[in-house]
A and B are shown apart, each in its own frame.
Chain A
Amino acid sequence: MSAIRRPQCVVIGAGPAGLGAALAAREAGLSDVMLMERDFELGGILPQCIHDGFGSIVFDQVLTGPQYAQRFIERVEKAGIEVKLNTMVLEMRGDRRITAVNPRDGVFELEPASIVLSMGCRERTRHQVMIPGYRPAGVICAGAAQRDINIEGLMPGRRVVILGSGDIGLIMARRFTLEGAEVEGVYEIMDHPGGLTRNVVQCLHDYDIPLHLSHTVTFIHGRKRVEAVTVARVDEALRPIKETERRVPCDALVLSVGLIPENELSKQAGVELDPLTAGPVVDERMHTSVDGIFACGNVVSVFDLVDWVTQTAETAGRGAAEYVLEAGRRKRKPPVRVTAGRNVKFVVPQLLREFDREIDLFFRVEHPERAARTRVLVDGEELYSRKAKMVRPPEMIKAGADPGGARKVEDITVEVVGDEEEA
């Protein structure tokens, strides 16, 4: 067996997060960066997201998914980053030993000086939301359907019911319609849409597709192929109301019922996960609890905007490069835990160790609130404040804070308060 290779940085997953992280690590001075992707090409989920709406923050331009990916792919190709396609990471240990496989190299092992996790997320399935009924062909998650239609050129349904009004569900309602399928309706268990208003308008209203709020699917019919679903209105506790049940004939049920960060490898390596985000606990450099393992993008928390995924990727890539270049000379400082204050569900990063740079804080609110102000308090001092006409749980919010040089910080809190001026 040949000696184990020790690249300076291995990035696992080449979606927008991995592409951005690999580039940032390279640009921050690492010469030996390896990017691994299990698909046959770079880009992750972006090549199948053929609709527009990407890049408004990073490029100040509205791009399609493939266009957004292409900007990074071109740079990666020129940057001298070693790309391994069709490569599946089988195992990752806490001492950063990676085992991977592809048809060309076979099974191989690496011991990189740093790792960036950018495996993205997977979709929740029908069983995770416990939809009773049969198990026929034709029950499919929205992202999988998106790949079938846009990449493989295959139609997983012709008369479709969509459960869940997350952005992918809305986008797919339009996509199915434009491909000549019929979307009977979108059903959403909550009393508000899960996706952006822009998508509700441009994907449903534009095509007269009904959105049934406070509704769910209570049964899947059909032994071989989906024949119908039963839908029902739900009460305040989100329990289906029997008397409102209605049978809707269809040949496919498309699910857009949430995403789960893909952290199987992280768990193997003993990376601490945050139960609220289902992703690794990270600090301001996107450094996880395991020394030398960084994480970015949707594997950390499901970000709605790719632009923000890119921003966390740059932080992680730079962080990994600093870690490698400073090799052991710098001790990790004990962290301060970011407090999720009033109407804040969680904050990423969860920990802060150094206060010598501007810090991006991403968070979601717990409940919708009008006339709000988001603030960041560092030891009681307000270092960031911004008004918002409305904050809603489906939208990740970004706040920044610059503690202004190295100093000792005891507490940092992110909160949403009512805005006196507006109210």
Chain B
Amino acid sequence: MAYVNGQRPLPSRAGLVVVGGGVIGCSIAREATRFISDVVVIEKESDVACGTSKANNAEVHSGIGEDAGTLKQKLNVRGNQLYDEFVRGLGVELKRQGLLIVITQRTIPRDGGMPEEERMELLTRKIPEGIVAYGENAGIKGLRILTRDEVFRMEPNVTREAVAGVFDPTYGLISPYKLTIALAEHAVINGAKVFLNTEVTGFRVEGGAVRAVITDRGEIETPMVVNAAGVFADEVADMAGAGGFVIHPRKGATLLFDRQVTAEYVRSSVAEFRLPGQRTTQSKGGGAMPTAEGNLQLGPTAIETDDKYDTSISAEEIEEIFERFHYLLPDFPRDALISAFSGVRAPTLEEDFVIGASEAVRGFVNVAGIQSPGLASAPAIAEMVLGILHELGLSREPRPDFDPVRPAPPKFSELSNVERNRLIREDPRWGNVICRCETVTEMEVVNAVHSIIPATNMDAVKRRTRTGMGRCQGGFCHNRVAAILARELGIPVTEVTKDGEGSPVFLGVAKEFLGGAAR
């Protein structure tokens, strides 16, 4: 197998080292393997996609929500256009189901003193036209104005307060962690090495150029480093003396709902249009959007925090989300809530992406401030960074042996019965359903543990197979998944973790706390 996991020794040298195994780092690594094979990704957590790339809203925006003239908007629009090509061969689906931007009565409140006729003219004509013009100006295609009736025909459950809408058809959804994992695996298939549980602690810089990356498990000599360390990018840049920007973490919470209850509730994603002054938070307002797998999400919030690890959710945030969306989706079934998550954004003070070769340290490229729409922009960010790396000397010659396909493991729930039975005849473990809510079989868990980027804990298995993501949130399957992990990894069940060191699922075996001998 091509992977190198946390236990194996680091190579002594590499053509390129990428710091951070998020969607950005893995995108860049995968693109780099089109030209060279000795690419190394260093990730301090137990899996790729453990930072912000696992806790976002899965939206591949068109760019309509970004400020004109920013790098964010430019890369978002470009990224969206590149996406289909970018994910080809990865076995991860981008669903371009579109975004419905709803203009409502409260977009311009009635009591604002404006004559009603003028107000309606603004709401139903000028604002929608303005949105379309703004988008077209940025290069976004296919934007379409909808009348009130058309809004309801498209989304029967949105508020009766809706007055008009704009449909943004290029908007799509993709599972951010599945994408990240697929990119990492695709890079490995093409020669890259991904090191998990490995932290970059410094750099060796000589004569104004980067010479080596120093990690807690050894050094790798390299002429080129990409800093894609997410919320930690400022600290990583400072380690090399290539910094000069500050990241102020801003967390965002999202509520997640049972897909059986909500799948039919909204068809595309729905966002409420607010005029700039009306945004309550730094978030673009968020919306009601299905995940790539069909669970509806409401959110996110936007709260400044001083802790880059702060993925907690407060009671106030939960209330805020429900209140905000009660207006947009009045009859939404609250009790279909099955989960909530929080991710930390990585904005700089300038609130724009910071992408470029360091002037202070040759060979060091910062890819920082990648807050939303980082996922949507990933293909364009990778394209831009490759351009910079070529300038720095990375081969421009496409590799003839680049393998365009990353085989995706089969998913039982998505197969036909004939295909299922073929697999079960090959291996009966395909017929053993482990997760009842999401219909995940034993073989899928086994495959996850032995995949190119191996899943070594409960959350890693969950990201690959959906075990524990359903209504019961692992009540039924947690011990079954833990037992398979233990068996396949050859460790005692008590060493199985939720998401890496310090997160054991079980604290002992029965009788152990009574002084009875451990099994």
Footprint of B on A, CB under 8 Å?
A: 38, 86, 88, 90, 99, 101-107, 122-123, 125-128, 130, 132-137, 140-141, 143-144, 147-149, 152-158, 179-181, 218-219, 223-225, 240, 251-252, 264, 267
Contact = CB atoms under 8 A, between A and B. Distances in A.
Chain A CB within 10 Å, residue with most, of B260, B431, B479, B509:
B431
A137 B498 contact: yes
Contacts of B335: 128
B338 A128 contact: yes
B421 interface: yes
A207 B354 CA distance: 60
A107 B513 contact: no
Given A127-B340, A128-B338, A137 B503 contact: yes
Given A180-B514, A181-B513, A155 B431 contact: no
Q: Sort A-B residue pairs by CB-CB distance and give the 7 closest, nearest first.
A: A180-B513, A103-B428, A137-B498, A103-B431, A224-B502, A224-B503, A153-B510
Contact of B473 (A107, A127, A251): A127
A158 B514 CA distance: 11
B506 A101 contact: no
Contacts of B499: 137, 224
B478 interface: yes
Nearest to A154: B506
Given A125-B473, A148-B506, A223-B311, A179 B513 contact: yes
B341 interface: yes
A147 B475 CA distance: 10
B503 A107 contact: no
B106 interface: no
A104 B432 CA distance: 9
Contacts, number: 153
A154 B313 contact: no
Contact of B513 (A103, A155, A223): A155
B173 to A, nearest CB: 21
A156 B338 CA distance: 22
B507 A157 contact: yes
B507 to A, nearest CB: 5
B97 to A, nearest CB: 24
A232 to B, nearest CB: 10
Contacts of B515: 180
Contact of B493 (A107, A128, A154): A154
Interface of B: 256, 260, 309, 311-315, 317-318, 335, 337-341, 417, 420-421, 424-425, 428-433, 436, 439, 458, 471-476, 478-479, 482-483, 493-494, 497-515, 519
Contact of B429 (A103, A105, A219): A103
Contacts of B256: 127
B506 A127 contact: no
Contact of A158 (B313, B317, B513): B513
Contacts of B309: 223
Given A136-B503, A148-B479, A103 B424 contact: yes
A133 B499 CA distance: 17
B260 A264 contact: yes
Given A148-B506, A154-B493, A106 B311 contact: no
A127 B339 contact: yes
A126 to B, nearest CB: 8
Given A134-B311, A154-B493, 15 more contacts: A102-B432, A103-B430, A106-B425, A132-B313, A132-B318, A133-B313, A136-B498, A144-B474, A144-B479, A154-B479, A156-B507, A158-B513, A219-B314, A219-B315, A223-B309
B417 A99 contact: yes
B439 A155 contact: no
Contact of B508 (A132, A137, A155): A155
Contacts of B432: 86, 102-103
A86 B494 CA distance: 25
Nearest to A264: B260
A153 B509 CA distance: 6
20 contacts: A88-B436, A101-B424, A101-B433, A102-B431, A106-B420, A106-B424, A122-B472, A122-B475, A125-B472, A127-B256, A128-B338, A137-B499, A144-B474, A144-B476, A154-B506, A155-B509, A157-B507, A180-B515, A225-B502, A264-B471
B494 A154 contact: yes
A107 B430 CA distance: 10
B436 A38 contact: yes
Contacts of B424: 101, 103, 106-107
Give the secondary structure class of B's interface.
mixed
Contacts of A219: 312, 314-315
A134 to B, nearest CB: 5
Chain B CB within 10 Å, residue with most, of A105, A152, A157:
A152
Contact of A147 (B436, B472, B479, B503): B479
A135 B311 contact: yes
A155 B511 CA distance: 9
Contacts of B498: 136-137, 224-225
Contacts of B341: 135
A4 B483 CA distance: 35
A154 B503 CA distance: 15
Contacts of A143: 475
Nearest to A90: B439
A134 B337 contact: no
A90 B433 CA distance: 10
A218 B312 CA distance: 12
Contacts of A128: 335, 337-338
Nearest to B318: A130
Contact of A106 (B313, B314, B431, B505): B431
B313 A225 contact: no
A10 to B, nearest CB: 17
A387 B189 CA distance: 75
Contacts of B339: 127
Chain A CB within 10 Å, residue with most, of B317, B476, B493:
B476
A38 B433 contact: yes
B231 to A, nearest CB: 14
Contacts of A251: 507
B351 to A, nearest CB: 27
A404 to B, nearest CB: 42
Given A179-B511, A223-B309, A107 B504 contact: no
A126 B315 CA distance: 13
Given A88-B439, A179-B513, A224-B499, A127 B429 contact: no
Contacts of B314: 132, 219
B519 A153 contact: yes
B508 to A, nearest CB: 4
Nearest to B479: A152
A315 to B, nearest CB: 27
Contacts of A218: 315
Given A132-B312, A137-B497, A155-B512, A122 B431 contact: no
A88 B435 CA distance: 10
B507 A155 contact: yes
A239 to B, nearest CB: 10
A105 B257 CA distance: 34
A361 to B, nearest CB: 27
